[in-house]
Amino acid sequence: MLESRTDGSRRRTRVSLSDEVAAHVRALIISGSLHPGEFVRLEKIADDLGVSATHVREGLHVLRGEGFLDFEPSRSSSGGRCRRRNPWPKARGRPVTG
């Protein structure tokens, strides 16, 4: 990803793998590919994206914090359950901050 600076130059910024996982799963939820109540399998996401289970787990925890996923105590190590299509208010799909 390229980031513009105020002096007109650009520099390359890195996005963490867990952020990429979170973005991928978030897009699946918002698009309706993952339905409320559907279980998100950690191993499947890791295979689909070619990343480790650790990065997927971290990405799913990000989505849990955003309200996209719930974790079940006995299954939290294998994935999470989709909470709802889009937990954010209809303010352009972005979280409202106070």
User: Strands, E, within 1-98: which ranges?
Assistant: 2-4, 10-12, 39-41, 69-70, 79-82
Residue 92 has pLDDT above 80, yes or no: no
The percent of residues in the chain predicted with pLDDT above 70, rounded, is 63
44-71: per-residue pLDDT in tens? 999 999 999 999 999 999 998 988 888 7
Per residue in 76-87, is it b (16+ CB within 10 Å) or e — as a string?
eeebbebbeeee
| Alpha-carbon gap, residue 96 to 98, rounded angstroms | 7
Domains defined for the chain, CATH in brackets: 16-82 (1.10.10.10)
